[in-house]
Amino acid sequence: MLRSWAFVLLAVLLMLPLEGCWSRKELNELGIVVGLGIDKDKDGYEVTVQIVNPGQVSTRNGIRPEATPVSSFSETGETVPEAIRRMTTLVSKKLYFSHLRIVIFGEALAREGIAKPLDYISRDRQMRNDFYLVVAKGSKASDILKISSPIDPIPANNLNVKLANSDKLWAATGQITLDRLMMDLQSPGKDPTLTGILIAGNKRGGETPSQRIEPRAALKYSGMAVFRQDRMVGWLDENGTKSLNYLQGRVHQTLATAKCPQGGTLSANIMNVKTRIRVGKSGDEPVINAHLRIEVDLADAECKIDLSKNESLTWIRKQLEKKTLSVLEEGLEQAQHQFHADIYGFGRYVHRQQVGIWRKVDDWDEQFSRMKVRIYPDIHFRRIGTIQQPIEQVRRE
């Protein structure tokens, strides 16, 4: 009898810690950070966070027009965590980083080195691996986080989804997550790259949510920042980024254009790219042979070309191969001779396939600049869409 009462008491006492008193955080106490921007400040860093106002995001309760779905706050500090702690004097909620969608580095900071601010982002237990990192081009990170977006009430979410989508459909951007960036920083055969983001349009106008159909300012991804070790050394343009993605085998789908035999342009949907990199030897120097197998569909033909003949397809194939080769070689030229940074990760392949050569090299970036790279694009044409002959070909004159 006494024993069963003791058990009941014990059960009740055990229920008390089940509320989870110690590390508990109530949901309305949390400031969910979706965007983090880090800029260089004279004594350290200027950190900007974009926090969600949950009441404003859902459309059910009636949105007050003067309140925005997100708020952004900036604060400075000697280290990144110090700035974030200091921000508690500004923000009424406890900052919670597990839903972070995007991290933006200011260009000035990137040129100085991103390894130091990255330590906090790696070490903190709230940070996960599903956000992207980008570099701000032509503005500060804090400015980027102040621009509102038309489609998605949360701009940082917009940025995240935009990057993921454009990475799948257009080879001129690259989604870089924290793990990939850390891998690139720590392994000796590859230099990191980060996508660049800029404000297209009127910066001031973009800060207020727009009543117009065409927004005053939009955030656009443009090019990629090239790093040597952890310091940024320059920007890759569209072709350079394409070459980066092709040679890394990170193209899902993209579009390429080529010239028709009688003038005019056609576009081809690149559906599938498989890249194989083999490292050969020429004496003591490594030689990279990159074999690309590219599957294409025809997207549009803005010229006169007879698509019922096989020769036309052969011509298109050859044109595409020439175009691909020239784009890739242009990018390679930039990386080798302008930036001296192995952004393709060829060093990793040399390490894996020709260990002997790898051991002898002291400065891989320097070796990379001198290295011979041979590219062999191999294009396979598959489909042409739903009509056969181009409109230019069949229209009345």
- Under the binding rule (CB under 8 A), the answer on residue 8 touching other proteins is no
Spatial CB neighbours of 338, under 8 Å, sequence gap ≥ 6: 234
Q: What radius of gyration do the chain's Cα atoms show?
A: 26
DSSP H or E segment with residue 7 = helix 2-18
Percent composition of the chain: helix, strand, coil (DSSP 3-state, to 5) = 35, 30, 35
Residue 351 found at the interface with other proteins (CB under 8 A): yes
4 binds other proteins (CB under 8 A): no
Output 178 or 316, the one with its CB closest to other proteins.
178
- Reference 350, options 248, 282, 278, 276; nearest CA is 278
360 in contact with other proteins (CB under 8 A)? no
Q: Which long-range contacts (CB under 8 A, 24 or more apart) does 80-88 make?
A: 80/38, 80/45, 80/47, 80/117, 80/120, 80/121, 81/120, 81/124, 82/44, 83/44, 83/45, 83/46, 83/47, 84/47, 84/49, 87/47, 87/49
Binding mask 180-199 for other proteins (x = CB under 8 A): --xx--xx------------
Applying the rule CB under 8 A, the residues between 15 and 44 that interact with other proteins are 17, 22-23
Please identify, among the stretches 123-131, 215-223, 252-260, 282-290, the one whose residues bind other proteins according to the rule CB under 8 A: 123-131
Give yes or no for residue 355 binding other proteins (CB under 8 A). yes
Is 162 an interacting residue with respect to other proteins (CB under 8 A)? no
Size of the site for other proteins (CB under 8 A): 16
Give me the least distance between CB of 186 and other proteins, in Å please: 4
> In this structure, what DSSP letter does residue 128 have?
-
Beta carbon nearer to other proteins, 185 or 200: 185
Which of 229, 353, 369, 393 binds other proteins (CB under 8 A)? It is 353
DSSP state of 29: G
> Taking CB under 8 A as the criterion, which residues in 69-108 touch other proteins?
none
Within 8 A by CB and 6+ apart from 311, the residues are none
**Residue 127 or residue 303: which is nearer to other proteins going by CB?**
127
Residue 148 Cβ, how far from other proteins at the closest point, in Å? 26
Interaction between residue 129 and other proteins (CB under 8 A) = yes
Check residue 177 and report its DSSP letter: B
Separation CA 199–CA 203 (nearest Å): 7
Residue selected from 64, 125, 212, 395 as contacting other proteins according to rule CB under 8 A: 125
Q: Tell whether residue 352 is a contact of other proteins (CB under 8 A).
A: yes
* 393 contributes a contact to other proteins by CB under 8 A: no
How far apart CA 181 and CA 196 sit, in angstroms, is 15
Contact residues toward other proteins (CB under 8 A) are: 17, 22-23, 125, 128-130, 179, 182-183, 186-187, 351-353, 355
